[in-house]
Amino acid sequence: MFDIKWIRANAEAFDAAISRRKGVSVRSSDLLAIDDRRREIIASLNEAQEKRNALSKQIGQAKAQKDEAKAAELMAGVAALKEAIPQGEADERAVELELRNALSVLPNLAFEDVPDGVDEADNVEYFGPNGSPATAAKARAPKPSFSFAPKEHYEVGVAANGDMDFELAAKLSGSRFVVLKGQVARLERALGQFMLDLHTTEHGYTEVQPPLLVKDDALFGTNQLPKFEEDLFATSRDNASTNAVMQLTQREYGLQLVEQQIAKLADHSGRNAIAIARLNRQAANERMAIAILKTEIDSHQIFEGFQSSKLYLIPTAEVPLTNLVRESIVSEEALPMRLTALTPCFRSEAGSAGRDTRGMLRQHQFNKVEMVSITTPETSVDEHERMLTCAEAVLQKLGLHYRVMTLCTGDLGFGAKKTYDLEVWLPGQDTYREISSVSVCGDFQARRMDARYRPAGEKQAPRFVHTLNGSGTAVGRCLIAVLENYQQEDGSVLVPEVLRPYMGGLTSIGGR
């Protein structure tokens, strides 16, 4: 979310930067026109309020002096404002909402060093601030070589034997779910525990167990709302409210059926008179019930209650972790605040029908270890590099080959100023696939959440914090990577060294 004052002061820079973002046609002049109207409305409202306050004060003084005549005269004088002020307040609310709506759908501005481009094909490989292909190759595991044709993860013996069961999951939940069992389930758990332990003990992150269901406000803070609601799973906790809305649709459908029945019987009227009378009574009852429900809903309370009781399943722990500082002012000493969590993530994957349908690459539910940093504006860029190395450490310790890409402007996420993707090598697919994404958002989310910090030392006004988030890493996809990279010809899978303590010392799973 942008600061309209900043846009006003930097209109040209804003236009130049926002035009780099894909599919955005808004320019500063559109927004400043709304803001001009807003300021006019505020100015005239303030004037009216000032007048009212002054007169009210005089009324108070007159009453104190028992001068009722003068008080009555003054009260008549203020009567004219009785309409202007509520109207002005309503206008102010409306125009402020208009401005907020216009601003809230604008994506963040990319840093200047983010490459221009239209899609992922224009992403640029990155080797660290002072890195090169040579230094990267030294730190990372090489691409593994196989004496046989490596299989995709779901074909590897240990998974194909039923311990990774998509058909079973489909019975319970439909497509894009999986049931893991036995040693595959344990390996997935081991990966999550390993990552969490690594970040908490070596990287200075604080472990958090956040709520998995969150309100719309939280999702607005981290940019999922209002633009990306179709990617989320939603639920509701308030039966009284949802019932009214759901009952209404049910009863309307019921009424429709009854009316169809009546129409049908009416064709051969005569002998159906009794049945029709009965159906008419039924229809009348339905209409009555519908009218009552509509009154309840129209009274607004129910519908608003329905809205506010709606809870969303988190698509990533970024949402609850980042929102931990929402609507608060933290002291500078508390920064950088580094938070991590291992949570399930839920994504509806709307619009990705047909993509990655085989295997567990793209699921409605998966586990992920997330890292979030809350920093000062001065340190967020360095923190971004640091967070990248924390994510890389996971893959390095697991001995997985990967590359790092700087996302181009066309591939950059809504709230990010710059993003690095970690792409792990999948020999079964013979390609690199995203396993982590590390983004710096500047104060974009902080404005949406109203999250600030108080600078240390001299008394200064609070400033917005900067936020960063990154996966460290997606556990489900990491499981895929381990299965594909450590597979053996006999269908067993070697357990990477660092996971063995979490696997009861096992060096291999799925062997005979």
Partner RNA sequence: GGAGAGAUGGCAGAGUGGUUGAAUGCACCGCACUCGAAAUGCGGCAUGGGGGCAACUCCAUCGGGGGUUCGAAUCCCUCUCUCUCCGCCA
Q: What residues line the site for RNA (CB under 7 A)? A: 5, 39, 42-43, 45-46, 49-50, 52-57, 59-61, 63-64, 75, 78-79, 82, 86, 93, 301, 305, 308, 329, 452, 458-459, 461-462
Q: Closest separation between CB of residue 49 and RNA, Å? A: 4
The Cβ of residue 4 has, within 10 Å, a number of other Cβ atoms equal to 19
Q: Closest separation between CB of residue 294 and RNA, Å? A: 19
Q: Closest separation between CB of residue 247 and RNA, Å? A: 18
- For RNA, the closer of residues 262 and 302 by Cβ is 302
Q: Closest separation between CB of residue 233 and RNA, Å? A: 20
Q: Which residues pair with 373 in a beta bridge?
A: 338, 468
Which of 444, 318, 449 lies closest to 377 in space, CA to CA? 444
Residue 421: DSSP 8-state: E
Distance CA 479, CA 350 (A): 24
Collapsing DSSP states into helix, strand and coil, what is residue 471? strand
Q: Closest separation between CB of residue 15 and RNA, Å? A: 20
Q: Closest separation between CB of residue 12 and RNA, Å? A: 20
Q: Which residues pair with 508 in a beta bridge?
A: 494
- For RNA, the closer of residues 80 and 257 by Cβ is 80
Cβ atoms 462, 454 nearer than 8 A: yes
- For RNA, the closer of residues 15 and 238 by Cβ is 238
- For RNA, the closer of residues 173 and 301 by Cβ is 301
Cβ atoms 466, 442 nearer than 8 A: yes
- For RNA, the closer of residues 305 and 472 by Cβ is 305
Which of 390, 437, 444 lies closest to 417 in space, CA to CA? 444
- For RNA, the closer of residues 402 and 464 by Cβ is 464
Q: Is the peptide bond before 211 cis (omega within 30 degrees of 0)?
A: no
Q: Residue by residue, what is the 3-state secondary structure of 108-128?
A: CCCCCCCCCCCCHHHCEECCC
Q: Closest separation between CB of residue 377 and RNA, Å? A: 15
Distance CA 315, CA 159 (A): 26
Torsion of CA 246, 250, 253, 257, to 10 degrees: 180
Q: β-strand 451-454 against 328-331: which pairing, if any?
A: parallel
Q: β-strand 124-125 against 179-180: which pairing, if any?
A: unpaired
Q: Closest separation between CB of residue 46 and RNA, Å? A: 4
- For RNA, the closer of residues 305 and 315 by Cβ is 305
Cβ atoms 154, 480 nearer than 8 A: no
Q: Residue by residue, what is the 3-state secondary structure of 319-382?
A: HHHHHHHCCEEEEHHHCCEEEEEEEEEECCCCCCCCCCCCCCCCCCEEEEEEEEEEECCCCHHH
- For RNA, the closer of residues 221 and 428 by Cβ is 221
Q: Closest separation between CB of residue 237 and RNA, Å? A: 9
Q: Closest separation between CB of residue 102 and RNA, Å? A: 15
Let me know if 290 is exposed, middle or buried by CB neighbors in 10 A (0-12, 13-18, 19+).
Answer: middle
Q: Closest separation between CB of residue 449 and RNA, Å? A: 14
